[in-house]
Structure 1
Amino acid sequence: MTHLRHCTNVMQSRRKLLKTAIQTLGAAAGGLFLNNCSSKPLGNEPLPNNTFAAASGIPEIPAVRLGIIPSIEIAPLLVAQKQKLFAKYGMTDVQLVPFSSWQSLGEHTATGTDLGTNDYGIDGGHFYSPLPELLNEGLINQKKTAMYVLMRLHTHGGYIVASKRLKPLGIQVKHATFSAWQDIAKLFGNPMNSAIAEIGSNYDLWLRYWLAAMDIVPLRDIDILEIPLDEIIPQIKQHRADLFCLDSWRTLKLMEGNLAEPAIATGEIWRNYPGEILAMRADWVDKYPIATQAILQATMEAQLWCDDPANARTLNTLLAIYFINDVTNNFANNRLTSSNPIKMFAQLFKNSPKPTKGMLKNSSNSLNYAIKYWSNDGISVSYPYKSHDLWFLSEYQRWGLLPPSLPTREIIDAVNREDLWRNAAKAIGVPDTNIPISTSRGIETFFDGSQFDPDRPNQYSPSKA
């Protein structure tokens, strides 16, 4: 009976939390979670009224298992499922399987589903770059798993956050000031550390890039610890780490707990950077090309839906319900502790840092770094540029995570299927003027003035630190 009463109380608490979240939508409208009012289409011409046509044929199979790491980056996949866009294109049994780590997601991808004959593995899903390339080359678990990159899911949405212990530094982490504080911290046996959830993830790369630009040598001046997401809060309370690179949802949890403050948005480090991706096993895509196009079309439609300011309230509600229910049920230690999640989401962007190195200030430009899914600044977010794949592999080589002799362009040509993206975009009515004409986005410029020229990757020389 005691157990039954406990379960009943938990269910009532969740219902109350959901009710509070949904009732708060009106009050939160002034600072909506995604701030989509600033989004604009790639070109001036609107999409035609019959934009979302049916998939070109009935999918060979209606079912697929896609792995995800719960975060706001997966919103297009979640919307495609909850708004029945997958079903609209004939994919009536799309399972979004949550994982607590990229390593586990990669392992289940390598296992696969034997083309739908088992329900242990997954057929693909939500990945960071360059995880599909690493799986393709057998650099993760010594087993080559042919992979295809299909699309980017977002840009922006991440933050580097600093613990309250760094407050005396004014979160202006320069080498000279930092070194003095680090020496004092070491003297007392509690050195300052940085941390990410997994070595090699995109957040690891953003953190390393930022530290190096601040003239702080990663792994020499400051360690980079690997701390699972559900252990971050207790570890920061114990001062095991002071700098984290996290998605905005977990950044909010630290802010609400008065444990940390954002130092810089990842979108400030590299504006319109390539975010995480949708990738799938090549054998699944090759066997089920119509189903693959259906998945792409549904996810593209979801990206457009997410960026439409008219859908912001519905999207906020959908995400709040997902994080409160689905994530809590799957990861008991990953609870969204806020009693007002919509307001909590909105608060992040009110406190978005000003585009100045390592400084925390409220900014009227905070909307510029809100997460986007389809386009931003007239630039395609969804299209998987090969030049971006090249940057990720080059950055891995920069930090010694891959050998310099790796044939990067050959690997990219084998894995990147931007041609499938183009086919799907045309099928849903995206104008030709809104479809990139080149697989390269050209020279990229970072916040420290460094540039990456995909035609001359060997000349890429950001802050060495």
Structure 2
Amino acid sequence: MTQNHEIVAGFLPLLDSALLVIAKEKGFAEAEAIDLRLVREVSWANIRDRLAVSRYNVAHMLAPMPIACNLGLTPLAPKMIVPMALGLGGNAVTVSSALWTEMAAAGASDDLDAGRNGKALHKVVVGRPGRPLRFAVVHPHSGHNYELRYWLAASGIDPDRDIEIIILPPPEMPDALGAGQIDGYCVGEPWNTAGVVSGKGHIATVKAAIWKSSPEKVLGANAGWADDHPDAMAALLRALYRSAIWCSDPQNRETLASTLAKPAYIGRPVDWLLPALSGDLQVGGGQITSVKDFFVPRGKAATFPWKSHALWFYTQMVRWGQVVHDEGNETIARNTYRPDIYRTALQPLGVPLPGASAKVEGALRVETPVGSTGASLTLGPDGFFDGGLFDPDKIDAYIEAQRAAKGD
């Protein structure tokens, strides 16, 4: 007799909660004998804290947050693991209409090119009198914070000196932009589209342009619960993978958007959700720009928990002074992501499983077939906009090069 698994998962009202939502709504969890209870939260800190006290077993989480917890960088830090990613991409950088006017005059364009528009922002920052520009991100240990900082730094802007970065919950960002309290923000969808639709913002660039095929949200799990319930964890990963297949089918976009738009989930108009699913983004001023692979829920090993992703986030924690670099901390970051659990759970399904657990990030300039078990697998492109490479076997050199670029 199949044992029923009761699993409680926290999530935030964002597009990339889709795999959890659809696993419940379309019966993929039930098919794995899972009673999946989803709880909508208002902040990432709440999700982290409730995982720590076992109110949640797993959660939709910022990809770097479990690493930060294991490094002891947050209060109530539970020991956590990441057995699965919840997709690639999905973020953008939105600026106020006033700032975009200045950037456009300095050469920015609606094609969302990270290099060109970063240079334009640099010109605005250098010539700006008065208070520095203020940007918002959702959490200090977030992909948003690190990708925004990477983009700014590679564009000649010091994120700690030339601008101010503050923390805001995603739903508050468009209103803060319209009120002039911030000049821009980096966030997941639908909150960039919300800023554009309101007439308050203009999308300057996207995660898929800053770092192609880059990670965003993951399934974070309380390590103690995962250790005690391996069968439940494996069943959940299978349900989420089937959900990813469903979410990646273009024929399901309308249904996916309408499901996520329900009050229990994102609770916002369907029209706010469709642009990210199609990649046809409303960037501002009536302009629509198509972005290939803006949000990828399944293809290109989008749900695989790459150790190289974990280690890149770790290098950014080091770069921006959140943690010291040493062998122990590097090992903690490396071991937070658990491709072994992913492989064990999904191998019976015959899904494409990468032959390696880490890769050189930024090395694939085009879509490339790679070694895998199960079905065939294509990865890439995965390049950084400035041409950078991150080799997880050469972390010391990467950190030193970043330190030298910062002038420390």
Instruction: Please say whether Structure 1 and Structure 2 have the same fold, judged by a TM-score greater than 0.5.
Output: yes
Structure 2, gaps ≥5 residues long? 109-116, 363-382
Write out aligned runs for 1:169-208 (5 A).
169-170=103-104, 171=108, 172-174=117-119, 177-183=123-129, 186=130, 191-208=132-149
17, 30, 48: which one pairs with 1:74?
17
Write out aligned runs for 1:37-76 (5 A).
58-59=2-3, 61-76=4-19
- Note closer, same or farther for the CA distance 1:284–1:400 as it changes in structure 2 (3 Å cut): same
Match of 2:85 in 1: 152
Matched, 1:162 2:100: no
**Deviation of residue 103 (structure 1)?**
1.0
Match of 1:404 in 2: 325
- Which residue identity lines up with residue 390 of structure 1 in the other structure? L
Match of 2:389 in 1: 451
- Note closer, same or farther for the CA distance 1:438–1:70 as it changes in structure 2 (3 Å cut): same
**Deviation of residue 193 (structure 1)?**
1.1
Match of 1:299 in 2: 240
- Note closer, same or farther for the CA distance 1:135–1:179 as it changes in structure 2 (3 Å cut): closer
Match of 2:365 in 1: none
Structure 1, gaps ≥5 residues long? 1-56, 113-120, 329-334, 354-359
- Residue 389 of structure 1 aligns to a residue whose secondary structure is helix
TM score, norm. by length of structure 1: 0.74
- Percent identical: 27
1:172-210, Cα deviation, whole Å (9 max, x unpaired): 453652235421xx1xxx542111122221111111111
Asked whether the equivalents of residues 110 and 135 of structure 1 are also in contact (C-alpha less than 8 Å), the reply is: no
Asked whether the equivalents of residues 174 and 191 of structure 2 are also in contact (C-alpha less than 8 Å), the reply is: no
- Residue 247 of structure 2 aligns to a residue whose secondary structure is helix
Asked whether the equivalents of residues 159 and 165 of structure 2 are also in contact (C-alpha less than 8 Å), the reply is: yes
- Which residue identity lines up with residue 350 of structure 1 in the other structure? D
- Which residue identity lines up with residue 320 of structure 2 in the other structure? W
Higher strand share: 2
- Note closer, same or farther for the CA distance 1:87–1:362 as it changes in structure 2 (3 Å cut): closer
- Note closer, same or farther for the CA distance 1:351–1:84 as it changes in structure 2 (3 Å cut): closer
- Note closer, same or farther for the CA distance 1:83–1:145 as it changes in structure 2 (3 Å cut): same
Residues of 1 paired with 2:333 and 2:125: CA distance?
Answer: 40
- Note closer, same or farther for the CA distance 1:309–1:108 as it changes in structure 2 (3 Å cut): same
Asked whether the equivalents of residues 88 and 216 of structure 2 are also in contact (C-alpha less than 8 Å), the reply is: yes
- Residue 273 of structure 1 aligns to a residue whose secondary structure is coil
- Which residue identity lines up with residue 182 of structure 1 in the other structure? R
1:218-259, Cα deviation, whole Å (9 max, x unpaired): 120100012233432332123221121011201111111110
Write out aligned runs for 1:356-367 (5 A).
362-363=288-289, 366-367=290-291
Residues of 2 paired with 1:227 and 1:144: CA distance?
Answer: 21
Bigger Cα Rg: 1
1:125-168, Cα deviation, whole Å (9 max, x unpaired): 11112211222343311x55222211010111110011111112
- Residue 326 of structure 1 aligns to a residue whose secondary structure is coil
- Which residue identity lines up with residue 124 of structure 2 in the other structure? F
Match of 1:436 in 2: 354
**Deviation of residue 317 (structure 1)?**
1.9
Write out aligned runs for 1:169-248 (5 A).
169-170=103-104, 171=108, 172-174=117-119, 177-183=123-129, 186=130, 191-248=132-189
Asked whether the equivalents of residues 314 and 333 of structure 2 are also in contact (C-alpha less than 8 Å), the reply is: no
- Give the length in aligned residue pairs: 366
Asked whether the equivalents of residues 69 and 80 of structure 2 are also in contact (C-alpha less than 8 Å), the reply is: yes
**Deviation of residue 464 (structure 1)?**
3.3
Matched, 1:265 2:189: no
- Which residue identity lines up with residue 282 of structure 1 in the other structure? A
Residues of 2 paired with 1:343 and 1:230: CA distance?
Answer: 16
Asked whether the equivalents of residues 192 and 240 of structure 1 are also in contact (C-alpha less than 8 Å), the reply is: no
**Deviation of residue 399 (structure 1)?**
0.7
Match of 2:297 in 1: 373
Matched, 1:289 2:230: yes
Residues of 2 paired with 1:267 and 1:64: CA distance?
Answer: 32
- Which residue identity lines up with residue 179 of structure 1 in the other structure? V
Comparing both chains, which one has the higher relative contact order based on Cα–Cα distances under 8 Å and sequence gaps of 6 or more?
1
Residues of 2 paired with 1:418 and 1:447: CA distance?
Answer: 27
- Which residue identity lines up with residue 464 of structure 1 in the other structure? K
Residues of 2 paired with 1:402 and 1:90: CA distance?
Answer: 41
1:383-436, Cα deviation, whole Å (9 max, x unpaired): 111111111111110111111226244214543221111122212232xxx210
103, 108, 120: which one pairs with 2:50?
108
1:246-287, Cα deviation, whole Å (9 max, x unpaired): 112011111111100111110111110122100211221121
Asked whether the equivalents of residues 9 and 60 of structure 2 are also in contact (C-alpha less than 8 Å), the reply is: yes
- Which residue identity lines up with residue 319 of structure 2 in the other structure? R
- Note closer, same or farther for the CA distance 1:74–1:176 as it changes in structure 2 (3 Å cut): closer
Residues of 1 paired with 2:272 and 2:36: CA distance?
Answer: 30
- Which residue identity lines up with residue 164 of structure 1 in the other structure? S
RMSD: 2.3
TM score, norm. by length of structure 2: 0.83
Matched, 1:89 2:39: no
Residues of 2 paired with 1:148 and 1:225: CA distance?
Answer: 27
Higher helix share: 1
- Note closer, same or farther for the CA distance 1:257–1:88 as it changes in structure 2 (3 Å cut): same
- Which residue identity lines up with residue 307 of structure 1 in the other structure? S
- Residue 271 of structure 1 aligns to a residue whose secondary structure is coil
118, 125, 128: which one pairs with 2:59?
125
**Deviation of residue 453 (structure 1)?**
0.9
Residues of 2 paired with 1:312 and 1:231: CA distance?
Answer: 26
Residues of 2 paired with 1:302 and 1:100: CA distance?
Answer: 24
- Residue 452 of structure 1 aligns to a residue whose secondary structure is coil
- Note closer, same or farther for the CA distance 1:232–1:449 as it changes in structure 2 (3 Å cut): same
